[in-house]
Amino acid sequence: MKNRMKVKVWIGILTLLLISIPVNAVEVSKVEINPQVLLPGDLAEGKLILTAQNEDVKSISFRASGIDVSPSFVTEIGTISKGTSYELPFTLRAGEPGVYSVEVLISTKNETKKQIFNVEVADEKPTIILKKSRLTLNEVNEVEFTLMSRLNFERVMIKPLFVSEPSIFYFNSIQEASGAFKLYPTEKRPLSFKISYYNGNNYHETIQNVSVEYDSSKGVFLSQNISYSVLAINDVSELTISIVNLRNDRIYQIAVELSSDGAVFSENRKEIAYLDPFSSTSISFLFSPKKAGKQEIVAEVSYKDEMGNDYAAERKIEFTATDQDILGISNLDVKKTLEEVKITGDLSNGGRSKARNVLIELTSGNVTKNFFVGELDAGDFFSFDFSMPSAIKKGVIKVSWTNELGMSNSISQEFTVPNKGIEKTPRNTLLYIGIAAVIVAAIIVVAVLKSRK
């Protein structure tokens, strides 16, 4: 019995002690700060959340060094009932970089409770990282970049402080901040960027200079080749302009334009759409001299880069034109008989190109005969043979043709029918033939009679 009485006494004492000790006193359940990390000068929005069970809160105060808290003291909070919470909004104003402790004092009817939370003020700026730090002067360079920071800045804008395509970039957050731009540097200098961004509702901007190295452009290499540097007037030769793009960027609207006082061309201008880096192309023209002597062709090559910058280069090509005919007549022979005049000879192509639509025409008085040869290759010849009436005394051989540019040309040569050396046919040829026939017949008859005997 005595032991039971002792147990009951102790239970009673413990009950009185529990009643006298506050149960579930006021607590700071959460402290919210936006942004979580501040930059110098930033204003952060904070929220202090208290929970309790029917606790009468008299006041809340903040104490901090190196950072401003507003409001710093709040009274007449009232009772926080069980199952509810109380939210106290406050603001923080950041100063110099560092980590600062903010002490929260919560006074109730029975006690004053202290809680501490830390606030970081960081000297943090986003940094542009270029994936390519070596550029080429006087060329279009494409550069990829990424913006880096340990803080998640928002509403980011990047503006290159030089001519670029595009000229500005926008990103929702720094996590998305990557891209590429094109620029055309003409001098050696760092690349400068203006970067603006928000940390919470706080606007910031900074200028970043990025050091890069520069190489000189190797440009475009031009060369020329002429098939024949010495040729006759109205002959045709080929001129080829070769273009090698030694640049790191593609070039566009490549044009080659020719001009000369001493030549005509198949085309004065030719174009190609583009030429990739470290690739080459060739553009060919046909030309024909139009006057004798040493002549010059000027070839001007122009092109653009991706940003519309214009370039031009010039080459001069020399050639010599001789004052001679491409086609010539040789081995001309004129023979006359009583019935006809035979004219034979050779037509040769001593030029560098093909003669087309070649026509040989013989004319004497009202008599004209011709023959269409067609094409005659360089170095080739054609033998002709014409018969004209025996009554002619002289005439003209005319040869006409077109060169490979379609230009018409002609040469002519006179001929005279010789009076001497005519191959005569006897006037009484028929008589002699008849006598010979009679003699042959008589011989045959005699032979037949003898054979019968």
Residues 79 and 43 in one domain: yes
Same domain, 193 and 138: yes
On whether residue 346 sits in a domain, the answer given is: yes
Section 312-336 average pLDDT: 94
Measured between alpha carbons, how far is 258 from 188 in angstroms, rounded to an integer? 36
Please indicate, yes or no, whether residues 374 and 280 belong to a single structural domain of this protein.
Answer: no
Give the integer Cα–Cα distance in Å for 179 and 192: 16
Question: Is the pLDDT reported for residue 7 higher than 80?
Answer: no
Query: What pLDDT is attached to residue 110?
Result: 82
Average pLDDT over residues 379-385: 95
DSSP per-residue codes, 189-216: --EEEEEEEEETTEEEEEEEEE--EEE-
The number of domains in the chain is 4
Residues 257 and 350 in one domain: no
Q: Is 447 helix (H, G, I), strand (E, B) or coil?
A: helix
Predicted local distance difference test score (pLDDT) of residue 444 = 57
Is 443 inside any structural domain?
A: no
For position 349, which CATH number holds?
2.60.40.10
Q: What is the pLDDT of residue 11?
A: 35
| Whether residue 133 sits in one domain with residue 112 | no
pLDDT at 377: 96
**Does residue 437 fall inside a structural domain?**
no
**pLDDT in the model for residue 394:** 93
For β-strands 134-136 and 213-215, DSSP reports them as parallel
> How many Å apart are CA 80 and CA 109, to the nearest integer?
12
User: Does residue 285 lie in a domain region?
Assistant: yes
The answer to whether residue 355 scores a pLDDT higher than 80 is yes
Same-domain status, 371 and 390: yes
Please tell me whether residues 275 and 301 are part of one structural domain: yes
Residue 1 has pLDDT above 90, yes or no: no
Between the alpha carbon of residue 279 and those of residues 135, 240, 249, 314, the distances in Å are 20, 17, 11, 20
Query: Is 225 contained in some domain?
Result: yes
Structural domain boundaries enclosing 49: 23-121
318 and 383 fall within a common domain: no
pLDDT tens digits for 267-307?
999 999 999 999 999 999 999 999 999 999 999 999 999 99
- The enclosing H or E element of 442 equals helix 429-452
pLDDT at 118: 94
pLDDT at residue 437, as a whole number: 54
Domain stops at, among 87, 121, 155: 121
From 188, 215, 242, the end of a domain falls on: 215
Contact 314, 360 (CB under 8 A): no
Q: Is residue 366 part of a domain?
A: yes
Examine the fold and report which residue of 215, 238, 272 is the final residue of a domain before the chain moves on: 215
Residue 441: pLDDT over 90: no
CA 409 distance to own-chain centroid = 44
Percent of the chain scoring above 70 in pLDDT: 87
Band the pLDDT of 130: cuts 50, 70, 90. very high
Please, are residues 20 and 60 in contact by the beta-carbon 8 Å criterion? no
Average pLDDT over the chain reads 88
Residue 452 lies in a domain: no
Is residue 10 in some structural domain? no
| pLDDT tens digits, one per residue of 140-192 | 999 999 999 999 999 999 999 999 999 999 999 999 999 999 999 999 999 99
CB 112 within 8 A of CB 177: no
Do residues 270 and 354 share a domain?
no
Q: What is the mean pLDDT of residues 101-124?
A: 92
